[in-house]
Amino acid sequence: VGKLNGEEFEGGKAEDAALVIGSGQFIPGFEDQLVGVKTGDTRTIKVTFPADYPAENLKGQEAEFDITVKQVKVETETKVDEDFATSLGLDSLDKLKELVRGQLEQQTAGLTRTQMKRQLLDALAAGHDFEVPQGMVNAEFEQIWAQLQQEASREENPQDALKEIQNERDEYRAIAERRVRLGLLLSEIGQANGVEVTAQEMSMLIQQAAQQYRPEDRDRFVQYVQQEPMAAAQLRAPLYEDKVVDFLFDKAEITEREVTQEELEAAIEAEETAEPKPAAKKKVAAKKKAPAKKADDKAPAEKAEKKAPAKKAAEAKPAAKKAPAKTAAEKKAADKTPAAKTAPAKKPAAEKAAPKKAAPKKAPAKKAAKK
């Protein structure tokens, strides 16, 4: 239990919190005072929050934490055998191996799909060039820029980080325009081919997003999304995009090529490192996170936007001016996806998030596919 001037403060209490001594997980000085404790010990930890701590009310403040040590563990080498498998609640070592194998296959399938989706979006972007509403581009850019500024403010040298992203402002503007154009194009393809997000799928999305909040705030978050169409649209957009992408995968001619997982990860990382970065990351000790926001403190809106950055355009109809007609979009899907293009140097972050579901049926696990 954490206290400021003898009074408990919000976010300073935790139950059954695990801590590895020397990990830097908590604020400086906290872990040092736990060296040598035994199970059942109670201590009062006195620390000072860093001047750059994220929570304004805690910056530079002296605090005390009353702690009780419930268990002390020492890392040892684990022997993977029948006893270990049964200690995990499994029937046998073979069951454990089967479980691990399935997880690895799922991970590889996710990486494969990420690379395939990137190639597909590159091909669509290269094959379609039409004017997009500048209002949508401005809104998209403002969202990207706000996120970059927030990330830069957490760097070791915020001023240098802000200066660096300022030098790349035009590149991020181009990313915003690409996102909007792809969103309009995918929306047109989806609408022309009857792609939909069902009410059941939407309900599952809301419940999954609600798990990010404290139990007492989850009902308020669900109500918020149900009452705010924009928040619901932002949750819906990523799933809608994935369903359109799956539709295009089914229409595409896919060439399979065997690669190792390391080669696949290296290919994805190579494209990611080509993106403009807000600032060079420096290794610093991890700090204790700020207390969770309450649901009525605009956190749901912020969470929803972060969940689906820059994809709210995905369901809007394309601008009439120079936009491709529906027949063009349908023809693009029906003509089979064109050959994969070289990934552009700057790519929207939203296109790089590894999907949570398995690869489509035409992209088997452990195989990187090219269109």
Question: Which CATH number do you get for residue 24?
Answer: 3.10.50.40
- The string of pLDDT tens digits covering residues 67-102 is 898 888 887 788 899 999 999 899 999 999 999 999
Same domain (yes/no): 63, 37: yes
Phi and psi of 89, rounded to 5°? 90, 15
Stretch 131-136: mean pLDDT: 94
Q: Which of 236, 258, 273 marks a domain boundary?
A: 273
Same domain (yes/no): 238, 133: yes
Assigned domain for 53 exists: yes
Same domain (yes/no): 95, 212: no
Stretch 195-214: mean pLDDT: 93
Q: Which of 273, 289, 324 marks a domain boundary?
A: 273
- DSSP symbol at 3: E
Same domain (yes/no): 174, 265: yes
* Domains held by the chain: number: 3
Same domain (yes/no): 130, 262: yes
Assigned domain for 137 exists: yes
Banded pLDDT at 274 (limits 50, 70, 90): low
CB burial of residue 327 (10 Å; 0-12, 13-18, 19+):
exposed
Give the pLDDT of residue 285: 32
Same domain (yes/no): 143, 237: yes
pLDDT at 304 over 70: no
Phi and psi of 80, rounded to 5°? -85, 100
What lies within 8 Å, CB to CB, of 216 at 6+ separation is none
Domain holding 191, by residue range, is 123-273
368: enclosing H helix or E strand: strand 367-370
Same domain (yes/no): 81, 171: no
Whole-angstrom Cα distance, residue 144 to residue 314? Answer: 16
Assigned domain for 342 exists: no
pLDDT at 291 over 50: no
Give the pLDDT of residue 273: 62
Give the pLDDT of residue 321: 34
Same domain (yes/no): 94, 133: no
Q: How many C-beta atoms surround the C-beta of residue 215 within 10 A?
A: 8
Same domain (yes/no): 183, 93: no
What percent of the chain shows pLDDT beyond 90?
38
Assigned domain for 332 exists: no
What's the mean pLDDT when you consider all of the chain?
75
Assigned domain for 344 exists: no
pTM comes to 0.53
- The string of pLDDT tens digits covering residues 144-183 is 999 999 999 888 888 899 999 999 999 999 999 999 999 9
Assigned domain for 210 exists: yes
pLDDT at 122 over 50: yes
Same domain (yes/no): 84, 222: no
Token pair listed for 155: 């760097």
Banded pLDDT at 341 (limits 50, 70, 90): very low
Assigned domain for 367 exists: no
- The string of pLDDT tens digits covering residues 41-74 is 998 989 888 887 877 778 888 889 888 988 888 8
